[in-house]
Structure 1
Amino acid sequence: MSSSSPFHVLSAFPPTPADADGRVDTEALCRLLEPLCDAGVSSIGLLGSTGIYAYLTREERLRAIEAAVECVKGRVPIVVGVGALRTDSACDLARDAEMAGADALLLAPVSYTPLTQEEAYQHFLAVTKAAALPLCIYNNPGTTHFTFSRELLRRLSDIETIKAVKMPLPADGDVRGELAALREKTDLAIGYSGDWGAAEALLSGADAWYSVVGGLLPRTALALTKAAITGDSNETRRLDGLLEPLWRMFKELGSIRVVYMLVEYLLLTRAELPRPLMPLGAADRQRVLEVAEPLIALERQSLL
């Protein structure tokens, strides 16, 4: 299952394996990307939050992009995260991604001093002028502590190259209502992150799932996505139920910690979390494996 747009259906966000010094393991990264291409995801979300973009140097981010472009060879569009604290740095990262062969950009308003709505608008405008690639707004207040007003999203949607927004799950759970309100304001493609709410978001009419689990279990994620966008609520909820134990681990332990532990298990290679993040302890690792192993077996055997 595929889509002509990198901002529709399933965008899979793989981890970025790296050592303790933040040097990207490009060989391991390519081993993660091959199953995503084989499964036919709509796009690869490279250097998202799961891809530890905020912890990597400009040089390592470029190495990751170049390796991914070489590995994927145009089979799947690559959407590259270019968030940075400074506007000039984000512009440099956007130019790097474009020159390295990325297909689209993902931009979060990373900040230390809280941004105003106008500051965020000018930040995005500058990045769109630095690179001509289509761009997805990364609305992730849990990490950036910035909340986009609907008016800001409307203004940003008027910028020619801004095509999509990646939304967090609404606090009140009313995805359908939020989608209706957003579509009154913009013509952006509207997708959601927060894997445990993906089934409901897709059934409610979201255009895309920006998926953490899709970066490791792409066939499972695609099966859920296909069921949801074709309106098969029974199959969607069945698959979501299979994944529910993993969602609980994500919420309790943090999806990034769970995913990096699973990368080591799947690839038999080191994938260091950037300090100060700490790996899971032995007891939690065992709990995660007990939950994940049946899902990994299903993925490998294509029993879905």
Structure 2
Amino acid sequence: MFSGLSAFPLSPLSEAGIDEAAFARLIERLATAGVDSIGALGSTGSYAYLSRHERLRIARLAVQHAGDVPVVVGIGALRTRDVLELAQDAQTSGARGVLLAPVSYQKLSDDEVFDLFDTVTRSLSVPLCVYDNPATTHFEFSDELHGRIAQLPNVASIKIPGVPTAPGAAQVRIEQLRALIPRHVTIGVSGDAFAATGLNAGCEAWYSVIAGLFPQIALAIIRNAQAGSVEEASRLSERLAPLWALFLQYGSLRVTATAAELRGLVSRPCLPLPVKSLHGDVRQRLASMLDELEVA
């Protein structure tokens, strides 16, 4: 479950509520494509903006429509108490795993983050993926902290934020982390622009934003990497460089949401206010880009 392609879909919603029909279609689209797992309520799923009730509903819908594809549910929240409640909700919904980011308002210390994972992992009956995403949590894991957390019960994977762009440096980065964690704990790359390099450097998983919307193109990249076709995996990723540039400039959530609107997969608006999809010239540029790249 914590290897291969894990696709992270949007949670389409407006101020009126979750668009359950659109979300169900997105999940079924991923299951039909044959992704290895589905990551509901990741950052692309706007988990931080949703109530506990909304998150439980999303988790249940994801499991209901995923078929045989395992669903991993995000459980990050400001308080340990809330994380424990969300973990229980995820497990009762049928999730096969959970994803935990150290969300905070006050900057957390290493010991506080370790205690969070220690408390949560001991209450779980499903495996956990450590969500290392400093862009949103503003907490930076050291490799040593990853090593400590990876020894805890039920920890099965680490989702790292990216790798160096040079292949040799990326391989060194993965080897350094691998030396500190047990063999059964997988390393998964996120940050879609880094995926091919990370996979070619030894990452076992790709936790992907673009796969949540356009799974076929992501599957082509990872299957080539898994088959040892390093150059083809890199070529397919480099072809998407204009899209990766928009991710960097505007954020992958806004770009992905806009692409979903443009392709008629969700209604507009589909993001929780005050966050909005792209508009004006950049929206038109993205529309042209999607046509040129022939993504669907």
Instruction: Flag whether TM exceeds 0.5 (same fold).
Output: yes
Quote the residue 1:155 is aligned against.
Answer: 148
Note closer, same or farther for the CA distance 1:127–1:79 as it changes in structure 2 (3 Å cut).
Answer: same
Determine helix, strand or coil for the equivalent of 1:164. Answer: strand
Q: Is the 8 A contact 2:165 2:194 kept in 1?
A: no
Aligned counterpart in structure 2 of residue 243 of structure 1, from 221, 240, 243: 240
Where does residue 270 of structure 2 map in the other structure?
Answer: 272
SS of the counterpart of 1:45? strand
> Are the equivalent residues in 1 in contact too, given 2:72–2:95 (CA < 8 A)?
yes
> Does the CA contact (< 8 Å) of 2:269 and 2:277 recur in 1?
no
Query: Following TM superposition, by how much is the alpha carbon of 1:278 offset from its aligned partner in structure 2, in angstroms?
Result: 2.7
- Find 1:59's aligned residue among 17, 40, 53: 53
Structure 1 distance, partners of 2:111, 2:32, is 42
Q: CA deviation at 1:242?
A: 2.2
Match for residue 291 of structure 2? 293
Deviation at 1:293, TM superposition (A): 2.4
- The answer to whether residue 181 in structure 2 is matched with residue 183 in structure 1 is no
- Corresponding position of 1:228: 225
Once superposed, which parts of structure 1, at least 4 consecutive aligned residues long, lie more than 3 Å away?
Answer: 170-173
Q: Deviation per CA, 1:101-142, whole angstroms, max 9, x where unpaired? A: 001000000011111111101111121133211000000011
Identical-pair percentage: 44
What is the alpha-carbon root mean square deviation over aligned residues?
1.5
What are the ranges of 5 or more consecutive residues in structure 2 without an aligned counterpart? none
Q: Show the counterpart of 1:27.
A: 21
Aligned residue among 7, 10, 17 for 1:12: 7
| Cα shift readout 1:193-225 (whole Å, capped 9, x = no counterpart) | 110111111111111111100011111101100
Q: C-alpha separation between the residues in 1 aligned to 2:170 and 2:269?
A: 34
Q: Which residue of 2 aligns with 1:85?
A: 78
Structure 2 Cα separation of the partners of residues 224 and 43 of structure 1: 16
Q: Paired residue for 2:96?
A: 103
Aligned residue for 1:139?
Answer: 132
Instruction: Give the Å deviation of 1:20.
Output: 2.1
CA distance in 2, matches of 1:134, 1:283: 44
Aligned residue in 1 for 2:282: 284
* Structure 2 length-normalised TM: 0.94
Query: 1:83 and 1:268, CA in 2 relative to 1: closer, same or farther beyond 3 A?
Result: closer
Q: Distance in 2 between matches of 1:56 and 1:152?
A: 29
Q: Give the aligned length.
A: 291
Q: Classify 1:204/1:42 alpha carbon distance in 2 versus 1 (closer, same or farther; 3 Å).
A: same
Q: Does 1:70 align with 2:64?
A: yes
Give me the TM-score of the superposition, normalised by structure 1.
0.92
Where 1:163 maps in the other structure, the secondary structure is: strand
Q: State the alpha-carbon separation in 1 of the partners of residues 270 and 217 from structure 2.
A: 25
Q: Deviations over 1:218-246 (max 9, x none)?
A: 11101100111222122112211221121
Task: State the SS of the aligned residue for 1:105.
Answer: strand
Letter of the structure 2 residue corresponding to residue 201 of structure 1: G
Structure 1 unmatched ranges of 5 or more:
1-5, 300-304
The equivalent position to 2:110 in structure 1, one of 113, 117, 136, is 117
The 1:268/1:209 distance shift into structure 2, 3 A limit, reads closer
Is the 8 Å Cα contact of residues 20 and 272 (structure 1) preserved in structure 2?
no
Q: Output the amino acid matched with 2:196.
A: A
